[in-house]
Amino acid sequence: PLELKSARVLFATRPATFGGLILDQGQDLGLAPDQGVLVPEGIVGRLWSVSATQSKVLPADAPNASVAVMLMRSRATGVLQGLGSGRALIRYVSNQEVVQVGEAVLTSGLDRVFPRGLLVGYVAEVAQGDLELRVIVNLSAPLDRVSTVLVLPSQPPLEVQPPFLAQEPRPQPRKRGTP
């Protein structure tokens, strides 16, 4: 189980360019930059800067925000980049993938900020591009009406495990009297 920490939103600077949310917790609660922030409806963003008693959240719809995501039905992965106003674009999804409007978008866990499987939003538009699909997502978290958030623990660095080597099957000894 994840150990979540709660914080209240003191002030929202979302309408401003590169605006965010100011939280009432900081280093005093053990918070650090790049921790994931969420609400029951979905992800909100990540901690951008942390002071002694406050933190600033970079919302997932900010133009300089990115989140590793996967599509629920097709399992295609990509990188979510903010477009503002509660919308985002998934980059790096191949034209070969079949993506449907209304399909759920989840965190993939590959960014080591959010664990795999948290709701991000739902596909609103899909269009063919030259090399990749243009997938627009409506984020599920109500970013303009958030008053309390949960902060995820810091993720450990990604460790690459050696490949799994299967044991070669051993021949079974034959029972007497069987061919």
Give the pLDDT of the chain (179 residues) as one tens digit per residue. 678 999 999 999 876 666 799 999 999 999 999 999 999 999 999 999 999 999 999 999 999 999 999 999 999 999 999 998 999 999 999 999 999 999 999 999 999 999 999 999 999 999 998 899 999 999 999 999 999 999 999 875 444 444 554 555 556 666 666 55
Number of Cβ within 10 Å of residue 57's Cβ equals 28
Q: Strand, helix or coil at 109?
A: coil
From CA 132, how far away is CA 126, in angstroms rounded? 11
Give, in degrees to the nearest 5, the angle at Cα 143 between 139 and 144.
135
Instruction: State pTM to two decimals.
Output: 0.83
Whether the CB-CB separation of 90 and 79 falls below 8 Å is answered with yes
Q: Are 63 and 84 in contact (CB under 8 A)?
A: yes
pLDDT recorded at residue 175 = 65
Query: What pLDDT, on a 0 to 100 scale, did the predictor assign at position 160?
Result: 42
Task: Give the span between the Cα atoms of 117 and 138, in whole angstroms.
Answer: 17
Type of residue numbered 120: V
Closest by Cα among 175, 95, 106, 96 to 139: 106
pLDDT of residue 14: 73
Residues in CB range of 61: below 8 A, 6 or more apart = 82, 83, 84, 85, 86, 87, 88, 139, 143
